[in-house]
């Protein structure tokens, strides 16, 4: 089941206004051009920011996500009518042959077990044409990003058009090995409603990710730095093993 932040209709509607700077997507749009991709699969597309951006540029895009509320938001964006939207995940895809698969944001870290991550990679590999490319990012665990996820550093008050003022913050609930569980809290001034969303991410090291790719039949072509978070995230570029 998707986390409430993505699956609850009221929270899905404020997801973009509370995080409006999507400059992180520029690097993925640039790689679509770099690799000459004309058909792209966006796994964990969420509210469709990248999928719609690419579609407006003439790319044939399929966006898949398990959160129906997020897809409802995505369908209302410019360019959405040119995207094929699928409710599901990488393991439930119809037959596809795409040039490039993306997993942006925290998508690659929501697969908490080795089995779930392997199943996602298998689904991605089946959707890629033989010379296709998989691109995704993951936070470098050595940087311990979760230590900055507290109310003092994440608290915000945002006036959302059509919704009103929303107060929000994040707290870490538990760190257990590579798993970090945290809670987002949202307070709606319009009616005083308080909604929370608990999430868990798995932090994998570069070596662990590279080994998992090999087991799935991918070769790691390159590991890049994330321009929007230099030194904090790893961007993997992978392709089918020769």
Instruction: Name the DSSP class of 95.
Output: S
In this prediction, residue 237 carries a pLDDT of 98
pLDDT 10s digits, 117-158: 999 999 999 999 999 999 999 999 999 999 999 999 999 999
In this prediction, residue 125 carries a pLDDT of 97
In this prediction, residue 229 carries a pLDDT of 81
Low-confidence ranges of the chain (pLDDT < 50): none
Which two tokens mark 34?
């770099």
Instruction: Name the DSSP class of 161.
Output: T
In this prediction, residue 231 carries a pLDDT of 87
Burial degree of 225 (CB within 10 A; 0-12, 13-18, 19+): middle
Residue 162, classed as helix, strand or coil, is coil
Nearest-angstrom CA–CA distance, 173 and 183: 7
Q: Which residue has the tokens 């995080």?
A: 19
In this prediction, residue 143 carries a pLDDT of 96
Nearest-angstrom CA–CA distance, 183 and 200: 9
pTM: predicted TM-score of the whole model, two decimal places: 0.95
């Amino acid at each position: 089941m998707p986390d409430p932040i993505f699956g609850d209709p009221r929270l899905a509607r404020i997801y973009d206004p509370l995080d409006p700077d999507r400059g992180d997507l520029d690097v993925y749009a640039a790689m679509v051009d770099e690799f000459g991709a004309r058909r792209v699969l966006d796994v964990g597309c969420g509210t469709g920011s990248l999928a719609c951006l690419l579609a407006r540029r003439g790319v044939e895009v399929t966006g898949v996500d398990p959160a129906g509320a997020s897809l409802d938001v995505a369908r209302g964006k410019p360019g959405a009518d040119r995207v094929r939207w699928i409710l599901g995940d990488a393991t439930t895809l119809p037959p596809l042959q795409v040039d490039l698969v993306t997993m942006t944001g925290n998508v690659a870290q929501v697969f908490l077990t080795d089995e779930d991550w392997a199943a996602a990679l298998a689904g991605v590999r089946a959707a890629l044409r033989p010379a296709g490319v998989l691109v995704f990012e993951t936070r470098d665990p050595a940087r311990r990003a979760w230590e900055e996820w507290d109310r003092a550093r994440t608290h915000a008050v945002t006036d959302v058009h059509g919704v009103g003022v929303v107060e929000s913050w994040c707290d870490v609930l538990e760190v257990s090995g590579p798993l970090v569980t945290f809670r987002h809290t949202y307070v709606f001034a319009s009616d005083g409603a308080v909604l929370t969303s608990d999430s868990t991410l798995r932090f994998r090291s570069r070596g662990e990710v590279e080994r998992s790719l090999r087991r799935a039949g991918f070769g790691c072509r390159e590991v890049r730095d994330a321009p929007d978070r230099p030194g904090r995230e790893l961007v993997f570029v992978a392709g089918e093993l020769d």
